[in-house]
Chain A
């Protein structure tokens, strides 16, 4: 047997090919950077064209208020999509939780914080229950998330209609509407916006810096990796779907506060809007990649477009066309990034 003469410590040509990517380059190539620039460009264009209508405190407040409920759902959706899953049931869970909260608050009666807290707890628990059901069916029965959550979408929506008999619950404690619904901190910042921002911040930090977040990425990146490392993948997935459901429940409560009705028929596309926002924000549908900051940007794209088109006198239907096009571009960029930066 002849000894091959190779110095193992020598720089391998294959290793040398790996380009050293600096922090700034990585941000520039990052999955949410391009969409952030698109959002900034849209805001600049509308602000220049209509400074007296678009770039006003009132309008910014409206934009943020419109985005708040969708942002809360989309934060949970971000976690789910990072695990390479999907949750179609969020809109239906939102409605169901709102109905449960409204019913319970009416049953308790009164117009105080106690009643409101009961309603909030009910909405959260209802959302949590649907989330745990989703996660359990997905992990234990091994039915794909698309099908499980399509099923629970129907069940939650049907359940809400059964409970209400198909008519919206309009009796909502006025104190809830006056505070969380339309109230503002220092008469400036709507409470509903503060709540949504807090949710995004807290769960953004958890995703980025904690073990729970790390496992979320690991599960989506290669489910075998955490499994062989002794991590209970099933339990983690159930927790992620439970989180998504609970946030949908919170969104149901916020929606109830804002509109003072259960808006049963008004959330049939919430799931798709949330998925679009998450994907626009650079989260990969193949799992393993995504940040909450990107989702925040993704939520604002349709909201800013809608608002800007209305102000510009463009038919607002164009917003749907534009968001659809941007969505396809966003996924194309994700694919391109994987092809150019990843080796396989």
Chain B
């Protein structure tokens, strides 16, 4: 079996007296959609934040492509090719979608103008249009402010941004929580297309049918520890819920 792309071993993270992670393990293979599920307070968000450089773990080990790494900042995560789509999307609503896609990574004009900080908006728009086209994000006008977009379109912009810059892993924190049925399908479709590009996706979700449909593997967290992993088709919905609540114990 090839080595995992990203692996966490025995992560511990406490906030005061709250023990969010108590020796949590986690693993992502290459080109794989992993769903991370668990009840509220199981430590899903903390685990993702630890792996994307927002929190530093108190103890434990993170391996990236087999080598131990430390991810002290979000920038360090990005340097490894890890991008995160936050639940609140972190878009600037008054800016165009291309400006959001390239926020913090602006393309500057060539030559002296670029040295002075002048933006190459045409190049950024073209790349945004092609990124939206590749991923099937339904935005006709990339020059319109993101505030005029629907919820699904905004999600599309945030996912396209993460996918454009990620070379290895995209974390998505409840990407469909605020979406309607049809838009949720679009995002799931998007997730599959991201995997087809050779990236791995870690999907945090509460929606069991969605998880069973899109995930290659499911990892279940309970009380800050991994309690079960299932491959696609191995588990029923009852198994997943049982593992989350502690009714089912995987040997």
Select one of A1, A12, A18, A229 contacting B103, CB under 8 A. A229
CB <8 Å contact, A217 and B94: yes
CB proximity to B under 8 Å, residues A250-270 = none
Chain B residues with CB under 8 A of A17: 150
Q: Say whether B92 faces chain A, with CB atoms less than 8 Å apart.
A: yes
Chain A residues with CB under 8 A of B136: 8-9
Complex Cα distance, B74 from A288, in Å, reads 25
Chain B residues with CB under 8 A of A338: 147
Q: Say whether B108 faces chain A, with CB atoms less than 8 Å apart.
A: yes
CB <8 Å contact, B74 and A18: no
Complex Cα distance, B213 from A217, in Å, reads 40
Select one of A18, A225, A231 contacting B100, CB under 8 A. A225
Q: Say whether B39 faces chain A, with CB atoms less than 8 Å apart.
A: no
Query: With A18-B140, A20-B141, A212-B117 in contact, is A218–B106 under 8 Å at CB?
Result: no
Chain B residues with CB under 8 A of A287: 94
CB distance from A68 to the nearest CB of B (A): 26
Give per-residue flags for A193-223: 1 if the beta carbon is below 8 A from chain B beta carbons, else 0. 0000000000000100111101001101110
CB distance from A136 to the nearest CB of B (A): 23
Q: Say whether B91 faces chain A, with CB atoms less than 8 Å apart.
A: yes
Q: Say whether B186 faces chain A, with CB atoms less than 8 Å apart.
A: yes
Chain B residues with CB under 8 A of A224: 88, 90
CB <8 Å contact, A228 and B90: yes
Of the listed stretches B4-12, B18-26, B177-185, name the one at the interface; the rest are far from the partner chain.
B177-185
Chain B residues with CB under 8 A of A220: 94
Q: Say whether A238 faces chain B, with CB atoms less than 8 Å apart.
A: no
CB proximity to B under 8 Å, residues A97-140 = none
Q: Say whether A14 faces chain B, with CB atoms less than 8 Å apart.
A: yes
Complex Cα distance, B145 from A220, in Å, reads 14
CB <8 Å contact, A209 and B103: no
CB <8 Å contact, A225 and B106: no
Chain B residues with CB under 8 A of A4: 181, 185
CB <8 Å contact, A218 and B95: yes
Number of interface residues of B (CB under 8 A): 47
Q: Say whether B86 faces chain A, with CB atoms less than 8 Å apart.
A: yes
Chain B residues with CB under 8 A of A229: 90, 103-105
Query: With A210-B116, A217-B95 in contact, is A1–B213 under 8 Å at CB?
Result: yes
Complex Cα distance, B144 from A20, in Å, reads 9
Query: With A8-B189, A214-B99 in contact, is A342–B150 under 8 Å at CB?
Result: no
CB distance from A235 to the nearest CB of B (A): 13
CB <8 Å contact, A6 and B181: yes
Complex Cα distance, B144 from A15, in Å, reads 13
Chain A residues with CB under 8 A of B153: 15, 18
CB proximity to A under 8 Å, residues B114-169 = 116-119, 121, 136, 138, 140-141, 144-145, 147-153
The residue in chain A whose Cβ has the minimal distance to the Cβ of B103 is: A229
Complex Cα distance, B92 from A220, in Å, reads 8
Q: Say whether B58 faces chain A, with CB atoms less than 8 Å apart.
A: no
Complex Cα distance, B151 from A344, in Å, reads 9
Q: Say whether B51 faces chain A, with CB atoms less than 8 Å apart.
A: no
CB distance from A23 to the nearest CB of B (A): 9
Q: Say whether B212 faces chain A, with CB atoms less than 8 Å apart.
A: yes
Interface size class of A (residues with CB under 8 A): 35 or more
Chain B residues with CB under 8 A of A141: none
Query: With A1-B213, A18-B140, A226-B92 in contact, is A343–B149 under 8 Å at CB?
Result: yes
Chain A residues with CB under 8 A of B3: none
Chain B residues with CB under 8 A of A8: 136, 182, 185-186, 189
CB <8 Å contact, B119 and A225: no
Complex Cα distance, B51 from A333, in Å, reads 45
CB distance from B186 to the nearest CB of A (A): 5
Chain A residues with CB under 8 A of B106: 211, 214
CB <8 Å contact, A15 and B92: no
Please indicate which of the listed interface residues B106, B150, B151, B212 has the most CB atoms of chain A within 10 Å of its own CB.
B150
Complex Cα distance, B148 from A14, in Å, reads 12
Query: With A20-B140, A217-B95 in contact, is A226–B104 under 8 Å at CB?
Result: yes
CB <8 Å contact, A225 and B117: no
Q: Say whether A276 faces chain B, with CB atoms less than 8 Å apart.
A: no
CB <8 Å contact, B119 and A342: no
CB <8 Å contact, B119 and A209: yes
Chain A residues with CB under 8 A of B104: 226, 229-231
CB <8 Å contact, B148 and A342: yes
The residue in chain A whose Cβ has the minimal distance to the Cβ of B179 is: A14
Chain A residues with CB under 8 A of B141: 18, 20-21
Query: With A230-B78, A231-B103 in contact, is A12–B138 under 8 Å at CB?
Result: yes
Complex Cα distance, B209 from A226, in Å, reads 34
Contacts A21-B148, A343-B150 known; 8 new A-B pairs at CB < 8 A: A8-B185, A15-B152, A206-B117, A217-B95, A226-B103, A230-B78, A289-B94, A343-B149
Between A and B, 25 residue pairs with Cβ closer than 8 Å are A1-B212, A1-B213, A14-B151, A14-B183, A15-B138, A18-B141, A18-B144, A18-B150, A209-B118, A210-B117, A211-B106, A211-B108, A217-B94, A218-B99, A221-B92, A222-B91, A224-B88, A224-B90, A226-B104, A229-B103, A230-B74, A230-B75, A231-B104, A288-B92, A343-B148
Chain A residues packing against B (C-beta within 8 Å): 1, 4, 6, 8-9, 11-12, 14-15, 17-18, 20-21, 206, 209-212, 214, 217-218, 220-222, 224-226, 228-231, 287-289, 338, 341-344
